[in-house]
A = this chain, B = another copy of it.
């Protein structure tokens, strides 16, 4: 299996992405296809231990930055790292893409080059939040800000397949994010979606869940619009940062506390590791016809390495193919007059 990695992507570029990709390749036993400025990649590779990893380098002289307009970036820059990596996935020279680059450009480019799975109207980003029981998959995380009810149903179906095929969670349950548990709660979108989810094939619908249920781990998959999902994820990150900083300040307020806290460092490190989003590393873009893993722009090496693992699991579980097969069973049969043309 060969994973294409956008070596130019991310806030730190090849300096971080490259060692992360190598670490991931080694850990998960995959080959790499690296796209980006070839000179830079080769120079960086020379400084790394890449022994035993089959690496293909594809030169991508064009650069897509955070300021590029997502919808047009890949079309305007066909020789960018994202565009060439997507070409490799489309043509079968790579099995998946990992990118920490402009996520809007990755999404739009994936739609243009790989296409949507038939039956999926809007691809969605599926990310994790840590929970009392491990982690909870939340989608959408920002791809579709104003979905319609049937889009949320597709998110639920894709999320269920992903978590089952890539993570081995059998019979995953799905909750609909709302402002109250009762079926009558929610905004108009949620109220319209509730009965559709209750009747949706391939979805074990639990009912409405609230914001705090995400981290409680009440369900395996939480479905929401991309606007709310993005706000929820970032609010949780912000709350974590605030708590972290507040506790840190109190624990370093004097030398006595500093000394005690230093002795407890292993406990804090364990807690942080358990809660750290970098452990996840990448969020799959579900609904496009290929495995595409979007990594955080400020990803560190560990995050990129984990994202390679996320990609591998999605390829092994044939997530796109499984979504396509479920969708095919749900498509109305072609009308005879149409078939006859």
Contacts and interface: CB of A to CB of B under 8 A. Distances in A.
A181 to B, nearest CB: 11
A243 B268 CA distance: 11
Interface residues of A, number: 60
A226 to B, nearest CB: 7
A238 interface: yes
A91 interface: no
* Number of identical protomers: 2
Contacts of A39: none
A231 B234 CA distance: 12
B227 A250 contact: no
A289 interface: no
Given A145-B179, A228-B227, A246-B275, A241 B215 contact: yes
Interface string A249-284: 111010001001101100110110011000000000
A230 interface: yes
A212 interface: yes
Interface in A186-225: 186-188, 190, 210-216, 224-225
A228 B179 CA distance: 8
A45 interface: no
A150 interface: no
Given A132-B245, A142-B179, A227-B186, A267 B251 contact: yes
